Amino acid sequence: MPVTTLDPRTALVVVDLQKGVLAAPGSPYSTGDVLARTVRLAEAFRARDLPVVLVRVTAAADGSDAVPGRTELSRAGRAWPDGWDEIADELAGRPGDIVVTKRNWSAFYGTDLDLHLRRRGVTQIVVTGVATSIGVESTARAAHEHGYHVTLATDAMTDLDPEAHRHSVEKTFPRLGETGATAEILDLLATTAS
């Protein structure tokens, strides 16, 4: 289903487009293509004086801030290179952008994202990033639960697993909001009164 509308106070929420994440392969889109499309969206949002939120994930080297709980897949023993959690240069360092640091999958849990959005009167978010089925989906679910209108730029996100991406886009996202391509969102943004 195409994107039908963008609220006058819509924010762009960019999930985990940081150096270490972008170094991984993406599917069905390359992480480079996802970054390029997200940069286009960010420039359009900034030009309209709409909020751009850059979300980064990080973790303590010793694992002391890792999410507790048993899982079937081990999270132990992961060594992160220096700078892996720095936001991509193409997006970083713009005045007025909001930077949110998370230690979980969702950009909402344990962060001040909701506070930043509500103080700016935001009623809708457009989400991009990596990985579709993890950070992007978790953030979209939480945004929906917080009462935001959610739009997902499906060609400005990717995953390590193309089937996981497809499942999120086709099965989960239509229950959380509206989906559309970057070009659709940019066209709609150009006609939205702010």
The answer to whether the CB of 55 falls within 8 A of the CB of 104 is: no
Q: What architecture is the 10-58+84-191 domain classified under in CATH?
A: 3-Layer(aba) Sandwich (3.40)
pLDDT greater at residue 73 or residue 172: 172
Q: Residue 79's pLDDT band (boundaries 50, 70, 90)?
A: low
Query: Tens digit of pLDDT for each residue in 97-156?
Result: 999 999 999 999 999 999 999 999 999 999 999 999 999 999 999 999 999 999 999 999
Sort residue 83 into left (φ over 0), alpha (ψ -120 to 50) or beta. Answer: left
pLDDT greater at residue 13 or residue 69: 13
**Residue extents of the structural domains in the chain:** 10-58+84-191
Query: Which residues have C-beta within 8 Å of that of residue 64, sequence separation ≥ 6?
Result: none
Q: Distance between CA 42 and CA 79 in Å, rounded?
A: 31
Q: Determine whether 28 is exposed, middle or buried from the number of CB atoms within 10 Å of its CB (0-12, 13-18, 19+).
A: middle
- The secondary element (H helix, E strand) that includes residue 50 is none
